[in-house]
Chain A
């Protein structure tokens, strides 16, 4: 039997118990140190470096300049040069296209899976989860096997005498885009499925009973109520694609039509050793991504009034 023992109400445990602030501090400390030291300070260093003058492979903290930002839109002579601007725009364009295609393909797929029986649903969602967990590199590499010049597709087409010369599919923007959709589709389907699965499908019948046509029902009932999944999926696809460089590297081999901002930044750091320029680029990239997310949230919220985001 428990005893009322007021003496036991002392000691370290009781002291901590009476001080929720101490508990909170204890729980927070490791995370605070990890983020302060290895996330916030490094980001501040990036900001600092982006204002220093170029010095190969190291940072020259004595010379401060705005040149890195200026050179994003000019050439050596100081004239306007859209080289980097185009790369930025291409990255954004690829990310947008990838997101939209993933959404158009992924939404019906997630809906289809959510409406199966319990056993089918579990099996199909597992089939989506396996590529989600599989190494991205390996999956992109598998595409290379098929699409490169000596790849499976060309050899099949040649054997079938459908084409005379092997097609040059590698290094084309189309293939890079396909690779991005292929790589990131699971990131779209999983959150979509999570929110469609919670949807009460009798609402569709209710809407149709009230006279709404198929598309009206989908637009006015299903879509608004599954908006959280659409938003989550879009963000999960858009962000990594904007900054990605593995896909365009493996399938585009950094040809001029497929170069993305990720490749360019990587080059500044790991090849041409222009850290200040790379820092400036990555900060602009970060700003663009955050801006895109904020705009997206605004639009999604304003568009679908009342949908829980």
Chain B
């Protein structure tokens, strides 16, 4: 960043500014003529100060983001039953966690829901992305609008609308209704991600495959699908994460006995703090980090270069 700048309105320059400039003893002040032709901009932040501000901001943000999480992890190993006094290292809470039938069954239900929701929404989302990007049809604009609405409208509206729907058609709430709800709100996310990749897709690669004798199906299998894979995996990971983390939609669509892990945690922390939840949270944190790293690994470009 240069200390001396042209002013966008040279007419504003006056003798006082020039005098100030010279008195300030800038390195460039040796030439008065230069100072006259280049009046200083009013606001030129020194580079070092700018960098300092940026660095402090980043430092503070990362501290604030991670400190609570680190504290949570540390206290999951605290032997104290409650409170924040460190009374010694202990794996008791993890042990309790392992033997808690409620948590175990909630975890299994969460994985069942997430598994089905991920697979179904990834398939439907990818198909929808292909239809939207590769085909023209009547009512396309309307369909697109409706389809992206779940991303835009508050989650709670989706949850309660499904609750009213299932009541209206006389379907009892169960894990199945949770899966249906998750599928519907995951599809747009998958479709957006896959469609972005499709829009960048070089159609000549498909033409090249057909030119070399591969029919539509073989072309899709050997060229389109492998090149789309990073986006499909990205969409699937997104769907999986949305599903295993969801509280709001699940709360409205889960029936008796279909408590998922987030619902269980929510009901517990609403009441108060128990160290078992600390341990459970720590495990979920580690799982999330593992998921991020795995998805980054899987999303590497099949062309051999790491995806951005």
Direct contact of A and B (CB under 8 A): yes
B16 within 8 A of A: no
Give the contacts of B222-250 with A (CB-CB under 8 A): 241, 244-245, 247-248
A150 within 8 A of B: yes
Q: Is the CB of B288 within 8 A of A135?
A: yes
Residues of B within 8 A of A286 (CB): 153-154, 157
Q: Is the CB of B156 within 8 A of A13?
A: no
Q: Is the CB of A213 within 8 A of B62?
A: no
What's the nearest-Cβ distance from chain A to residue B148, in Å?
Answer: 10
A interface, over-half SS: helix
Interface stretch, picked from B19-27, B88-96, B125-133, is B125-133
What's the nearest-Cβ distance from chain A to residue B4, in Å?
Answer: 9
Map CB proximity to A onto B126-146 as digits: 1 under 8 Å, 0 otherwise. 011011001111000001001
B305 within 8 A of A: no
Residues of A within 8 A of B100 (CB): none
What's the nearest-Cβ distance from chain B to residue A23, in Å?
Answer: 7
Interface stretch, picked from B28-36, B47-55, B101-109, B199-207, is B47-55
Residues of B within 8 A of A20 (CB): 135
Q: Which residue of A is nearest B41, CB measured?
A: A213
Residues of B within 8 A of A34 (CB): 124, 183-184, 187
B interface size (C-beta, 8 A): 97
Map CB proximity to A onto B38-80 as digits: 1 under 8 Å, 0 otherwise. 1001111100001001110110011011101101100100000
Map CB proximity to B onto A194-225 as digits: 1 under 8 Å, 0 otherwise. 00010000000000111111111000000000
Q: Is the CB of B216 within 8 A of A31?
A: no
Interface stretch, picked from A37-45, A67-75, A82-90, is A37-45
Q: Is the CB of B42 within 8 A of A213?
A: yes
Q: Is the CB of A215 within 8 A of B266?
A: no
Q: In the complex where A24-B135, A135-B284 touch, is A30 in contact with B124 (Cβ < 8 A)?
A: yes
| Chain B residues with a Cβ under 8 A of chain A | 1-2, 5-8, 38, 41-45, 50, 53-55, 57-58, 61-62, 64-66, 68-69, 71-72, 75, 82-85, 123-125, 127-128, 130-131, 134-137, 143, 146-147, 149-150, 152-158, 160-165, 167-168, 180-181, 183-184, 187, 191, 213, 215-217, 241, 244-245, 247-248, 251-252, 262, 265-266, 269-270, 273, 277-278, 281, 284-285, 288-289, 291-292, 296, 308
